Homo-oligomer: A and B are copies of this chain.
Amino acid sequence: MLIGQLADALGIPTRTVRFYERKGLLPDPERAENGYRVYDDTTLARLRFIRTAQAAGLTLAEIASVIGVRDDGTAPCSHVDSLLEAKLAEVRQRRRQLAALEAELSELLERSRQLDPADCTAGEICHIFTPTETVPS
């Protein structure tokens, strides 16, 4: 199997396969006499693994570390487990941040609806962002 066929089998560009190779996610492949990369099904499986792990939010560096553990002859399960735990915590935190941002945006939009552009001054740049003044007694 040549690189184009491998790439087509997964619907990814050939560039990406070479990129993964340089990142250490794929082993240096066999070469035909003309220098072309030659692959077998194990590479296909490895690429599928990479894509699945990516779908779980792992970065290529993290996936490379998992592959590294496996290549050391160790089952990377516990490593994967901790990566997933960390990722889950990250995702939850990010979700919280985005929830706050969504609330902030809604508030700004609501304010926008109640403001008249004619009242917007150059000094403020745009009064939608001007903090609502809590009028003191």
Contacts and interface: CB of A to CB of B under 8 A. Distances in A.
A91 interface: yes
Interface of A: 42, 45-46, 49, 52-53, 55-57, 66-67, 70, 75-78, 80-81, 84-85, 87-88, 91-92, 94-95, 98-99, 101-102, 104-106, 108-109, 112, 115, 117-118, 120, 122-129, 131
Please state the number of chain copies in the assembly: 2
Given A117-B77, A126-B76, A84 B105 contact: yes
B106 A102 contact: no
Contacts of A118: 75
Given A80-B112, A84-B112, A98-B91, A75 B126 contact: yes
